Structure 1
Amino acid sequence: MTEPELTCRAIDGLLADLVDDTLDPAAAARAEAHLSTCARCGALVRDLREVRQAAAGLPSLSPPPDAWTRIRAVLEAEQSSVQSDVARPQDIRPVATRPWPPVRAIATPRKLAVWGRLAAAAAVLVLATGAGLWSLWTTRERLEPVGSTRTEAGDQRAGDLVATVESEIELAAEHYENAIAALAATARASGTELDPAVMATLKTNLALVDQAIDDSRRALRAQPDNLVAQASLLDAFRRKVTLLEDTLVLMRELRTDASTMPIGLDEG
Structure 2
Amino acid sequence: MFELELLRPESAKPYQKFTYQSYRNVIVDGTIPTEKRPLLIGAHVNQQPIGLIVVAREADQTEAKLTSLFVQESFRKQGVGTGLMKYALEVVRAGGMTNVKVEYYALPHIQEFERVLEKSGWNRPAVYSHYYRFELKNLESARWMRRIRVPVGYRAIVWNDMPKEQLGEMAGLQEEGYLSYYDPLWNEDKIAGTCSCVLLEGDTIVGWSIIEQHMPDTLLYRTLYIREAYRNLGLGLVLAAQTSKIGFESTVPYCVIQIVLKNEQMQKVARSFIDPLCPVVTEYRRCEWEEGRER
**What's the TM-score, normalizing by structure 1?**
0.24
**Structure showing the higher helix proportion among its residues:** 1
